[in-house]
Amino acid sequence: MFTVADADAMLDDLRPRLQRIREAREVVIRTSELVKDQVVADGGGVASDRSYWEASRILRAEVEHLADQGVVLRDPHSGLVDFLGEIDGRRVWLCWRLGEERVTHFHELGSGFAGRKPL
């Protein structure tokens, strides 16, 4: 369980991590077509594209780090994350995304970003 202060304290670490996730994801998506074409062309000669494998490694490591910290990655493109928290005695998701200064929103456990409300 996170308080808003706990979640805010993590943001300096999260910002560069979420940027790395975004960049690595873009490389994986961009190169996945190349990897697919190489498999078709030569039966699996994909190891030569190091950028794909390095981006995959970074993506996995960063997502695992977030999970280990209890941070739920909702959208890697926008850098949207949730922190399990509590408001008025009920569990909620404290909601933040890359580019926001601090955690200022939440949503109910059963709703997503569309149900986002100011704290």
pLDDT in tens, 67-112: 999 999 999 999 999 999 999 999 999 999 999 999 999 999 999 8
pLDDT tens track for 26-56: 999 888 777 666 666 666 555 556 888 899 9
Predicted TM-score of the model (pTM): 0.85
- Count up the domains in the chain and report the number: 1
> Whole-angstrom Cα distance, residue 118 to residue 85?
14
Map residue 2 onto helix, strand or coil: strand
Q: What angle do CA 20, 25, 30 make, to 5 degrees?
A: 130
- How many whole angstroms separate alpha carbon 68 and alpha carbon 35? 30
- What is the span of the domain harbouring residue 38? 4-118
